[in-house]
Chains A and B, each alone.
Chain A
Amino acid sequence: MIFEKPTPIRDGFGKALVELGEKNSRVVALTADLSEAIRVHWFAEKFPHRFFQMGIAESDMMGTAAGLAMAGKIPFVTTFAAFATSLANTPVRVSVAYNQANVKIATSHGGVCVGGDGATHQSIEDIALMRVLPGMTIVVPCDANEAYKATLAVAEYPGPVYLRLGRIATPIFTKANTPFRIGKAQILAQGDELAIIACGAMVGFALEAAQVLQKKGVSVRVINMHTVKPLDRTAVLKAAQECGAIVTMEEHSIIGGLGSAVAEVVSEKYPVPVERVGIRDVFGESGEPHEILEKYGLTTKDLVVSCKRALERKESMVKYKSRV
């Protein structure tokens, strides 16, 4: 499977799930009245006896999935990011995470690009909520191809996984042969003056910002951190040591997500300037995706501004060090 044109990230998930269904009879899928929205309807059509419609009952769905996992199945639970992680948070915490149940929570509508639905359906805290659960793995694919590969990888990966998928059509950055391994960051562009670490649909902006800065003579490393947990600490520390400044970008709150994860590692092991681009502790609102991204500071331009600030901070640190 390979996508070439801009494709919703969730499509890569839906296609991979059908393939998994053919390969592995243990794979089952559940949804809470959102089978098409998360592209699980393709699986449902092909494997009706392994597809469970749970109705609008996310908490019960999460617990049921845990039970299926206890009896040896590999359940993929599908709903919107906000419902899986907030509404069904307690069963995710106890029935899935504490049980170390082999449940794969696959969600669409992660982030603010959900069309006109507004703040209730924009999940800006799901990564944070999942990240604090011990043993939870978090994968945020950047395009449909990566979502496809991630879905196959997640099925093989033992234990609970949160797979966050965006809703809108996203340009394709990765190819069929781009290697994908859970927990191993991808370097999409080499550079040694500044590193941009991004996940999900924001990876595209990172590549664009890198080009803008490259033209101004700044050597920028672009890292696709598709696995937010367990974080590829080696890649983060190498970026800190070799580039000396880091900017993170995510379609998520700057609190508790990728930016926080990177800052935690950097501040403990090798402090260098870190700037975080993301939603700044506010709820979203209705609007067209591009309008929302603009209003909430999630564009290539915003990223470039943060990169410049990080470079300035790096400069002043170098100057300070040379003075003392």
Chain B
Amino acid sequence: MEAVEARELDIQHIKDMATQIRRDVIRMIVGVGSGHPGGALGAAEIFALLYGGVLRVRPANLKDPHRDRFVLSNGHICAAYYSALSLAGFLPREELQTFRRLNSRLQGHPARVKLPDLVETSSGPLGQGFSVANGIALALKLDGSRGRVYCLVGDGEMQEGQVWEAIMTASHHRLGNLTLIVSYNGLQIDGEVQKVKNLMPLKAKFESFGWECVETDGHDVASLYRALAPYARKNGVNGEKPRAVIAHTVMGKGVPFMENKAVWHGSCPTSAQAEEALLTIGKAKGFEDYPVLPSPASTTKKRRR
């Protein structure tokens, strides 16, 4: 673990990885004709950092009891998650084209039964993954594991009552091995979070619930890394306070026509829009687009005829 922590983070590499995640997200969603681009694009840096530097987990050590765990609680943004998993070597790159299709392991919301070694819990109905992350953290503590648990939630998700139950659980049971990342883009399906049901002041709420809390720019790789890196914790790695990182993000980040527009929570771009989006995002240095092989869907159609 020390090796990973001591390693100088190649910030440019993480930025490129985030760019590739954005390209993948657009291609995956337009490829199948549905999905949730807004939140996924907004969390590209978070995923790139988690799988490019923060999480101590490798494809070869998925059974290691001391590995770090990641729980995606706002499951709908999973296009970015699958992309990061494939870029980190956990999934074949070409599998991304099966996203949301019949018989795919890459369900529209992450499914543990489809990816038992990778997905810690199925998520979709909001507010649920966080509790599961707590349970994992509790078990790791009980076992004296060095593994840490990272959980990502959306801001709108925090309106769920279960989230506040989980916030109390984490501080009450002293889950110092847990980091909760809130992707705070300020938007949800029906509009601005502030208008739908206000969450502010969120940092003060976390602190009054017994958490350590920092706010950061969710797109600035260096400051996001400082917030997520375990040694940055005020109370140290073995402290007892859970840590919340409020990452201020922009829904649809990187694609100007999608940025800060709630409609892109769950809409699919047209192929012309997707082309424009890919042009704006640009190429990622050191990464390549996933290959598109003959579509399995077309063979299904033929069989049906």
Contacts and interface: CB of A to CB of B under 8 A. Distances in A.
A60 B166 contact: yes
A101 B121 CA distance: 9
A64 B169 contact: yes
Contacts of B137: 67
Given A57-B165, A57-B169, A90-B128, A98 B122 contact: yes
Contact of A52 (B129, B133, B173): B173
A50 interface: yes
A69 B136 CA distance: 8
B222 interface: no
A59 to B, nearest CB: 5
B140 interface: yes
A70 B132 contact: yes
A94 B125 contact: yes
- A contact patch SS: helix
B112 interface: yes
A64 B143 contact: no
A66 B111 CA distance: 14
Contacts of B143: 71-72
B202 to A, nearest CB: 19
Interface in A65-104: 65-73, 75, 90-91, 94-95, 98-100
Contacts of A69: 135
A262 B139 CA distance: 40
B112 A99 contact: yes
A321 interface: no
A60 B165 contact: yes
Nearest to B134: A64
A54 interface: yes
A63 interface: yes
B135 A65 contact: yes
Contacts of A66: 121, 131-132, 135
A62 B123 CA distance: 14
Interface residues of B, number: 32
A270 to B, nearest CB: 34
A49 interface: yes
Interface in B124-181: 124-125, 128-140, 142-143, 161-162, 165-166, 168-169, 172-173
Contacts of B139: 28, 67-68, 70-73
A133 B134 CA distance: 24
A186 B123 CA distance: 39
Contacts of B142: 28, 49-50, 73
Contacts of A100: 112-113
A73 B143 CA distance: 10
A71 B131 contact: no
A98 B169 CA distance: 23
A65 B135 CA distance: 6
Interface string A241-279: 000000000000000000000000000000000000000
B120 interface: yes
A55 interface: yes
Contact of B135 (A57, A68, A94): A68
A68 B169 contact: no
B118 to A, nearest CB: 12
B268 to A, nearest CB: 24
A68 B136 contact: yes
A70 B128 contact: no
A135 to B, nearest CB: 9
A59 B162 contact: yes
Contacts of A60: 131, 134, 162, 165-166, 168-169
A65 B125 CA distance: 17
Contacts of A54: 169
B131 A70 contact: no
The 3 lowest CB-CB distance pairs between A and B, nearest first, are: A67-B135, A63-B131, A71-B139
Interface of B: 111-113, 120-125, 128-140, 142-143, 161-162, 165-166, 168-169, 172-173
Given A55-B168, A64-B166, A98-B122, 19 more contacts: A52-B138, A55-B165, A65-B135, A67-B134, A67-B135, A67-B139, A68-B136, A70-B120, A70-B132, A71-B139, A71-B140, A72-B139, A72-B143, A91-B131, A95-B131, A95-B132, A98-B113, A99-B113, A100-B113
